[in-house]
Amino acid sequence: MADQQDRAVFVISVAAELAGVHPQTLRIYEREGLVRPKRTTANARRYSERDIQRLLEIKRLTSGGMNLEGVRQVIALTQEIERLQATVAALEAELRAQAHRHRHELETVRRSARRDLVPYSSAIVRYEHPSRYSET
């Protein structure tokens, strides 16, 4: 699904219509670094579904009164949160894998220890030296 969202297929007029803004606004957003559309070999802009989603988010933030610098910071913080969430997910997966390995190792040690145990009887046995029974 990520590949589909990153396919740059929308020309600037279609992207502007989908985002509900003027094409010149898209050029401003690009100049300000808020969106980076792909370019064709003829240097024409092509916007992806992910770009459209970002444009809608920018529109939502600016319509609420936020300036472009604030939008830039929100986008940067959102990306940082996504990066950190991915890191946490990777660490959790690694932790689960380590816990599984440790449980397996512990069970292996427990099984091997059971084989080393010798049954013990609490009955009292009198020990007598073998020379006592030998005939001399």
The tens digit of pLDDT for each residue in 52-89 reads 999 999 999 999 999 999 999 999 999 999 999 999 99
Count: domains in the chain: 2
CATH of the domain at 42: 1.10.1660.10
The pLDDT value recorded for residue 89 is 98
Strands (E), 34-125: 38-39, 45-46
Residues 58 and 77 in one domain: no
Helix or strand (DSSP H, E) at 57: helix 49-63
* Enclosing domain of residue 58: 1-65
pTM of the model: 0.65
The per-residue pLDDT for range 16-47, each reduced to its tens digit, is 999 999 999 999 999 999 999 999 999 999 99
Q: How large is the average pLDDT for residues 99-114?
A: 88
Are residues 34 and 54 in contact, defined by beta-carbon separation less than 8 angstroms? yes
Same domain, 37 and 92: no
pLDDT for the residue 128: 74
Strand, coil or helix: what is 112? Answer: helix
- Check whether residue 34 and residue 93 sit in a common domain: no
CA distances from 54 to 10, 45, 47, 79, 99 (A): 14, 16, 10, 12, 39
- Same domain for 50 and 74, yes or no, is no
